[in-house]
Chain A
C-alpha cells in the first residue's frame, strides 16, 4: 500500500477551486432553498432554468477543481487526500468530535464530475421532459435537493457526514420515486425503496458506530506513538484507511471468528448492498422505475445507486486489510451481475430491462472491487472506471428510453417498433449507448469492462472471471433485444406510428451523453486512480482479455439479431419451449419479491410486529388508560362533597376554622 491518504495542512496555499470546493454541494442546496421557499410559492415559470443554473455552476467549479488538483499533482504521480473547508460540527466528548468538510482525492473528484455532469444534463433534459407537468416546480426542487445530498456524500471526509448525506439521498430518492403521488403503484414503490434501503442502512449505522468507536479508542495511542498524522478525528476516512489503524485493530481479539476490522466493514457492506441494490436487497430498484424517467437516469442509474460502490472504494484500504469483506463483495457482485442479467433478458418493460441492467452493472463494479487486493489493486481502478463510464451510457439509455416513452406513451417494448426513422437523434444516441454497454471497441464500456475482466483474471479469481465473461455476453444480448424491438422493424401500435422526435432541449443532452459514452473510455484511468502505480498502469489493449470479451459481446449481439430482427416468433417460441418452466421462473424474477413478501408477512408481521402491537395495545395503552380511569374515578368520588347545600359548606367552613384554631392554639400555646 503506497498511497495511504494523508492530509496536507497547507490550507491557504491551495488554488481557489480546491479551497472553495465546499461551494459545489452548497450551490444546489441554495437552489433547493431558493426554489422551494421563494420561487415555487411565487409560481415563477423560470424555476427549472434557475435549478439547472445552480447545478451548472457546481459543474464548472468541480471541473476547475479537477484541473487544479491534477495541475498540482500530475497524473501518474502520488495523489494525496486533501481536506478543505473543514469545520468542527459535533464536539461530543473531549477527543471525540465530528467535522464537516470536503475531501479531495482522485476518487471523490471522479464522482464529483460524474454527479455534476449527469445531474446537469438531466436537469436540462427534464426542462423538456417535464414541461407540461403541473408538479414540475416540486420536481426541480427535489432534484436540486438530491444533487446537494449526493455531492455532500461524495465529498464527505468522515463516515458521519457520509451517513447524513446517505440518508438525505435516500429521502430525496423516496420523494422522487413517489413523485406521481396520485398513482398507488408509485407510492408503494417509494415506500418499498425507502424501507428496504433503511433496513440495509441499519447495517451501515452499526458499522459506522463500531468503526467510530474503534477510532475513538485507538486514536490517542496511535497519536502518542506518532503513527498517524495529527488532527485526525475518530470517524475520518484518513484514520480508517491508515495502515497503523488496521494494524492496531487487527491486534485486538476477534469476535465470533471475525476480526474486529472485518465485522464493521461487513456491516457497512450491508448498507452498501442496500443502496447499490445488490442481491437479495435489489428488489426496490426495479420498482423505483415508477418515478419520472430522468429521475431513474440520475438517481437509479448513474449516481445514488453507485453510492454503495463508492463507499467500498472510499474505504478500500480498510477492506483490503480485512480481506474477508472483499471476498463477500466479490461473491455478491458476481451473483448479482449474473442474476440480474438473466432477468433482464426476459422483461418487456423498457425501464425494467434498464433497471436490471443497472443491477447487473453495479454487480460488475462491486465484483471488480472485490477481486482487488492490497498488493493487486487493479480492480479498485477498474471498478471506479466502470462506475465512470457506466454513469454516462446508462443515463443515456434511460434518457433515450424516456424520450421514447414520451413519444409512444407506453413502457412496453412490444408496443414500440420502427422508431429508428421517426426519432433519428434518439435512435443514434441510444444505439451508441447500447454498443457502449455491450463493450464493443472503441466505446467506453469496452475499456472499463476490459479492466474488470483483467483484474479478475490476473487476481486469480477464475470463477468470477467466468461469470463476468458470461455477463459480458448476456449484456449485449438484452440491450440489443430492446434496441431491435423498440427501434427496429415496423410500428406495432397506433401511438408508435405517430411518434415524433423529442424537442431540442431533450436531444442535446442525449447527444452530449452519447459523445461522453464514446470518449469516456479513452481516459488512462490508472494514471489518475491507482493505489499501486506502475503495476496497474494501462499498457494499451490486452489481447488475451479483449478478444474473448469482444467475442462474447459479438455472440450476444448475434444471438439477439437472430431472435429479434424481423418476424422471428417461431424461433423465440422454440427457445421458450427449450427453457421450459425455467423461463417462467426467470420471467418472474426468480420469485425473490414473493420470498421477501412471505418473509415480511409470516416472519416479521407475525413474529415481531404482532407481539409488539399486542404489547403496545395492552400494556402501554393499558397503563395510559388506567391513569385516565383513576383520575376520573377520584374526581367522581370528590364531586359528592360538592352538594350545592349552603349550610353544608358553612359546616365545613366551621369545622375547618375550628381545626385551624385548635391546631394553632396547640402549636403556639403549648409552652
Chain B
C-alpha cells in the first residue's frame, strides 16, 4: 500500500512535534497574532491525535473525522473571540506586542 509503513507511533510523534511547536510559539512569540497562530497549531495537533487514536481503536469508522470537523468549528469560534479582542487592541496598541500588555499587573 505504501513504501513506508505508517503506524500509530508516527502519528503520535507528529502530534507531539506539532504541539511542541505550538507551545514554543506560544511562549516565545511577541506578537499577539503569532500567539493566535501558535494556539491554532496546538488545537490542530490535538485534532490529529483524536483522529489517529479513534482510527486505531475503531478502524473503518468515521467518528474520528467527524470529531475533527467539530474541532475545526471550535477553533474557528475561538478565533472569532480572539479576533474580537485583538482588533480593538490593535487599534489602541498598534505594536501588538504582548509583553507590553501588562495592565493587569498586581
Contacts and interface: CB of A to CB of B under 8 A. Distances in A.
A642 B98 contact: no
B14 to A, nearest CB: 20
A646 B101 contact: yes
Contact of A644 (B23, B26, B27, B105): B105
Contact of B102 (A640, A641, A643): A643
A647 interface: yes
A635 to B, nearest CB: 9
Contacts of A631: none
B102 A644 contact: yes
Interface of A: 638-647, 650-651, 654
B16 to A, nearest CB: 14
A162 B26 CA distance: 81
Nearest to B26: A650
Interface residues of B, number: 13
B101 A651 contact: no
Contacts of A641: 106
Given A647-B98, A647-B99, A642 B106 contact: yes
B104 interface: yes
Nearest to A642: B106
Contacts, number: 32
A638 to B, nearest CB: 8
A641 B104 CA distance: 12
Contact of B35 (A640, A644, A646): A646
Interface string B85-106: 0000000000000110111111
Contact of B106 (A639, A646, A647, A651): A639
B33 to A, nearest CB: 13
A647 B106 CA distance: 16
A645 B106 contact: no
21 contacts: A638-B106, A639-B106, A640-B106, A642-B105, A642-B106, A643-B102, A643-B105, A644-B102, A644-B103, A644-B105, A645-B102, A646-B35, A646-B101, A647-B26, A647-B28, A647-B98, A647-B99, A650-B26, A650-B27, A651-B27, A654-B27
Nearest to B35: A646
Interface of B: 23, 26-28, 35, 98-99, 101-106
Contacts of B103: 644
Contacts of A638: 106
The 3 closest A-B pairs by CB, nearest first: A644-B102, A642-B106, A644-B105
Contacts of A646: 35, 98, 101
Given A646-B98, A647-B99, A654 B104 contact: no
Nearest to B105: A644
A303 B106 CA distance: 69
Contacts of B35: 646
A643 B104 CA distance: 8
Contact of B99 (A639, A640, A642, A645): A645
A642 B27 CA distance: 17
A644 B101 contact: yes
A650 B101 CA distance: 14
Nearest to A645: B102
Nearest to B98: A646
Nearest to A646: B98
Nearest to B39: A650
Contacts of B27: 647, 650-651, 654
Nearest to B102: A644
B104 A644 contact: yes
Nearest to A639: B106
